[in-house]
Amino acid sequence: MSSQEIIVLNVGGVRFVTRASSLQQFPESRLARMLNDDDREFKLVKGEFFVDRDGTLFSYIMDFLRTLQVSLPTDFSDYQRLQREAEFYGLYPLADLLSQEHLLKPRLEILEVRFSLQEMQAFFRIFGSCSATVEALAERITVFTGQQSGQSWNSPFPSQKPLVPHPLERPSHHDMVLRCGSDYAGDQFVTRYVSIKPDNRKLINGTNVLGLLLDMLLKDGFRLISTRMVSSEEKVECYCFERTKRPTGLTL
């Protein structure tokens, strides 16, 4: 049979159309032997190979044969059943990959934003369970500092002097600290503006910065799961987010 021929399979009532070459990826498998009429489990009925197995799970097996990669939905849970199906079809490399269930399951990522408003300044501390996410977030946030006289905390007008980018405080790979607002230094205000890409504004008001930060996290796939007051005396608010990270598909 030519590897370019089109094969139709009926697995438990679900039809699949593929090339013979896809089924021959693993010559020792029952699917490859089926093409040579070497397996009685697969019956040829009206031009279609019929097998009485789970058609839904077979869709994942076909995806593996086409890509040689295991990529499952984030809500997938039938690892043992799919492993049994792989063993039934003689696809033992796939069964071995499925046995590494802990590598295939989605991982939960937690991010916590703490916000405190004190007089003319707002303080932020961001904790993340994934250091790569914290690093990416730090690249999007810039604090600009400047000095000017007579400017108040709520003034909408930026400093006339050039603002200087100020590096974020990074206590560890998993958190960062920043602040915005105004503070006295002699007879001048030292101001700190926060800019969060892709938004180009430089914000001095802590509530505005908080709103932009939370909106960015929601758009990036995080879900707000809780809010609480960490310290009522210091008015420290805590916003907790989670995101389900799809694991990288295991490749054979």
Domain that holds residue 115: 109-149+159-243
Judgement on whether residues 93 and 120 belong to the same structural domain of the protein: no
Task: Assess contact for 238 and 230: CB atoms under 8 A.
Answer: yes
pLDDT digits (tens, 9 = 90+) for 199-236: 989 999 999 999 999 999 999 989 999 999 887 677 89
Task: Assess contact for 192 and 179: CB atoms under 8 A.
Answer: yes
pLDDT digits (tens, 9 = 90+) for 103-162: 777 778 899 999 998 888 999 999 999 898 999 999 999 999 887 654 444 554 544 567
Task: Assess contact for 158 and 202: CB atoms under 8 A.
Answer: yes
Residues 6+ apart with CB under 8 A from 203: 180, 193, 194, 195, 209, 212
pLDDT at 3: 43
pTM of the model: 0.59
Judgement on whether residues 87 and 124 belong to the same structural domain of the protein: no
pLDDT digits (tens, 9 = 90+) for 14-51: 999 999 999 999 999 999 999 887 777 788 888 899 99
Question: Looking at residue 246, what DSSP letter applies?
Answer: P
Residue 24 lies in a domain: yes
Residue 250 lies in a domain: no
Residue 26 lies in a domain: yes
Q: How many CB atoms lie within 10 A of CB 88?
A: 16
Which runs of consecutive H residues, i.e. helices, occur in the chain? 20-23, 30-34, 55-67, 79-88, 92-98, 101-104, 131-140, 206-219
Note if the bond before 162 is cis, omega within 30 degrees. Answer: no
Nearest to 208 by CA among 181, 230, 170: 181
Residues 6+ apart with CB under 8 A from 24: 3, 31, 32, 35
CATH number of the domain that residue 40 is part of: 3.30.710.10
Strand pairing partners for 227? 239
Judgement on whether residues 142 and 30 belong to the same structural domain of the protein: no
Residue 248 lies in a domain: no
DSSP string, 110-173: EEEEEEEEETTEEEEEEEES-HHHHHHHHHHEEEEEEEESS--TT--SPPSSPPEEEPPEEEET
pLDDT digits (tens, 9 = 90+) for 235-245: 899 999 998 76
Residue with tokens 């039938």: 78
Judgement on whether residues 92 and 130 belong to the same structural domain of the protein: no
Judgement on whether residues 63 and 143 belong to the same structural domain of the protein: no
Task: Assess contact for 86 and 61: CB atoms under 8 A.
Answer: yes
Residue 252 lies in a domain: no
Number of domains in the chain: 2
pLDDT at 212: 95
pLDDT digits (tens, 9 = 90+) for 64-77: 999 998 888 877 88
Judgement on whether residues 141 and 211 belong to the same structural domain of the protein: yes
Judgement on whether residues 99 and 218 belong to the same structural domain of the protein: no
- Does residue 248 register a pLDDT over 90? no
Residue 130 lies in a domain: yes
**Radius of gyration (Cα) for the chain, nearest Å?**
29
Report the distance separating Cα 60 and Cα 70, nearest Å: 8
Residue 252: band (very low, low, confident or very high) from pLDDT cuts 50, 70, 90: low
* Amino acid residing at 105: K
Residue 83: band (very low, low, confident or very high) from pLDDT cuts 50, 70, 90: very high
Report the distance separating Cα 137 and Cα 133, nearest Å: 6
∠ CA 74-51-66, nearest 5°, is 45
Judgement on whether residues 97 and 122 belong to the same structural domain of the protein: no
Collapse the DSSP code of 3 into the 3-class scheme (helix H, G, I; strand E, B; otherwise coil) and give the result.
Answer: coil
Judgement on whether residues 120 and 92 belong to the same structural domain of the protein: no
Judgement on whether residues 176 and 52 belong to the same structural domain of the protein: no
Percentage of residues in the chain having pLDDT higher than 70: 88
- Does residue 90 register a pLDDT over 70? yes
Judgement on whether residues 133 and 79 belong to the same structural domain of the protein: no
Judgement on whether residues 127 and 185 belong to the same structural domain of the protein: yes
Residue 131 lies in a domain: yes
